[in-house]
Amino acid sequence: MWGCRSAGVRLKLLGLLQPCWLRTRCRTRVVVNLQRFSTSLASSPRPPWRVLFLGTDQFAVESLKLLTSNRSSSKKIVENLEVVTLSDDVPVRRFAQQNQLPLHSWPPEDVDGRFDVGVVVSFGVLLPERLIKKFPHGILNVHPSLLPRWRGPAPVFHTILHGDTMTAVSIIQIRPHRFDVGPILNQELHQVSKNCTAEELGAALATKGAHLLIDTLSTLSERIANKREQGQIGATFAPKINASMSWILWEEQTCDQIDRLYRAIGSRIPLRTTWMDSTVKLMDFVGKCYISLSDQRTTVIPGSVSFQKESNTLAVCCKDGWVGFRTVVLKKRLTAVDFYNGYLHQTLQRNTPGQTAEGLFVSRKGRTEAHQMRDNSPM
Ligand SMILES: *[C@@H]1O[C@H](CO)[C@@H](O)[C@H](O)[C@H]1NC(C)=O
Ligand SMILES: *[C@@H]1O[C@H](CO)[C@@H](O)[C@H](O)[C@H]1NC(C)=O
Ligand SMILES: *[C@@H]1O[C@H](CO)[C@@H](O)[C@H](O)[C@H]1NC(C)=O
């Protein structure tokens, strides 16, 4: 294979080759080599590597970007780079096209003997064992969590949702049949900053992960020799996020939980509740509120809404306090003051003591919805 590569490079420099002729010739040589050295897949033990990259979304693009730019230095660790993506119009496909990287569709054909190592980042498809075996150094995965915590498709959402203060990026080797269970080659801790959203955390981990991937590839043989199996202790699963999580349960959820829910999903799926049988989307969350009630209600029950004039905020009572929103969508977008003047004001006036249902946001029970989301789907 080495012979084939250097011959290809030399001939290309001379400008003598048709690319398809080169490919045919290479394949023939590889077959011969594989037969001759059938006990081991002849691949260099050192970089630069021939890399096949599989990915889809913006999180994956960050890794692909660094691999792409690394090809052009004298100390490069990437020699050849080709890309597999799923058929849709996804960020990885656009990046590959803009940068003239050879593109394969899924499943890739013609992989035998052409790559040293694979890299898969947020691809969403289990790779079959027979494909993994075609890479002498295996297939690496960049996973944005402190594995074995948050295996599965939505680690960043769940990191925020559960209020983890520490996370990581992990570089693992892919195992067949199950997601995110392979041995850890490299792991770098990352402190989750206060108040950050899933988008912000995802972006920070994408950058960190890309650098950690390059670092891992530059010392790959040592990393593989020292790989660490994931234990079962502390293993958790991060299922896909779906829209049914966006219905707030005022009686059950605390200010903290609503805050985390908003930061986890709020920019993609608005938090929701019901108001007199209509769906209300709750936007522009401002966090926990400390309020003094100006109206005459004596008992405050979860779901109660209070308009805070000074801050132009709607405060809603939840399990352990009040949380504020600046905007709602009830058919159309309304600021807090518009909602108060147009809706809340009348219903509060109509209410007699002990009968406050019309001033209430009501939790919707039995929530089901099919809409599913992965962490890193286009942001
Ligand atoms: C490629 O990665 C290697 C190893 O980290 C590094 O030494 C080299 O400077 C990188 N080249 C570019 C162009 O980023
Ligand atoms: C987090 O947000 C709350 C309001 O939502 C704010 O009072 C607090 O200062 C913020 N903390 C940081 C560290 O940004
Ligand atoms: C949505 O997610 C919740 C929580 O993970 C889960 O219990 C529910 O089954 C999911 N619904 C659908 C339709 O996938």
What are the pLDDT digits (tens) for 186-214?
999 999 999 999 999 999 999 999 999 99
Residue 263 has pLDDT above 60, yes or no: yes
Helices (H), 219-344: 220-225, 255-265, 336-339
Neighbouring residues of 33: CB distance < 8 A, sequence distance ≥ 6: 1, 3, 4, 42, 113
Which of 63, 67, 218 is the best mutation target for the ligand 1 pocket, counting ligand atoms within 8 Å of the beta carbon and taking the most? Answer: 218
- Residue 240, pLDDT > 60, answer yes
Query: Three-state DSSP class for 106?
Result: coil
| pLDDT bucket at 302, cuts 50 / 70 / 90 | very high
Query: Is the four-CA dihedral 108, 113, 119, 120 of positive or negative sign?
Result: positive
DSSP 311: T
Burial class (CB in 10 A: 0-12, 13-18, 19+), 261: buried
- In terms of Cα–Cα distance, which of 58, 53, 93, 56 is closest to 71? 53
For the chain, domains (ranges, CATH) are 49-225 (3.40.50.170), 243-376 (3.10.25.10)
Tell me the mean pLDDT in the region 266-289: 93
Task: Spell out the long-range contacts of 5-9 with Cβ–Cβ below 8 A and sequence spacing 24 or more.
Answer: 5/50, 5/79
- Span 29-84, pLDDT tens digits: 344 344 334 334 557 788 999 999 999 999 999 999 999 999 987 889 999 999 99
Mutation to probe ligand 3, out of 236, 241, 242, 372 (largest number of atoms < 8 A from CB): 242
Q: Is 355 exposed, middle or buried (0-12, 13-18, 19+ CB in 10 A)?
A: exposed
Distance 242 CA to ligand 3 centre (A): 6
Lowest mean pLDDT among 81-85, 297-301, 323-327: 297-301
Residue 12 has pLDDT above 80, yes or no: no
pLDDT, the chain, mean: 84
In 3-state terms, what secondary structure has residue 370? Answer: coil
Which mutation among 244, 369, 375 tests ligand 3's pocket best, with the greatest number of atoms within 8 A of CB? 244
How would residue 21 be classed by pLDDT, with cut points 50, 70 and 90? very low
Backbone conformation region of residue 100, classed left if phi is above 0, alpha if psi is from -120 to 50, else beta? left
Residue 2 has pLDDT above 90, yes or no: no
Distance of CA 92 to the CA centre of its chain: 14
Nearest CA to ligand 1 atom 9: 75
Q: Which ligand is nearest to the CA of 158?
A: 3
CA distance 284 to 261: 13
Interatomic CA distance for residues 358 and 361, integer angstroms: 8
- Asked if the model's pLDDT at residue 15 lies above 50, the reply is no
Higher pLDDT, 176 or 35: 176
- What is the per-residue pLDDT for 291? 80
Asked whether 282 and 325 are in contact (CB, 8 A), the reply is yes
For ligand 3, residues with CB inside 6 Å are 239, 242, 244-245, 368-370, 372
Strand 78-85 versus strand 305-308 pairing type = unpaired
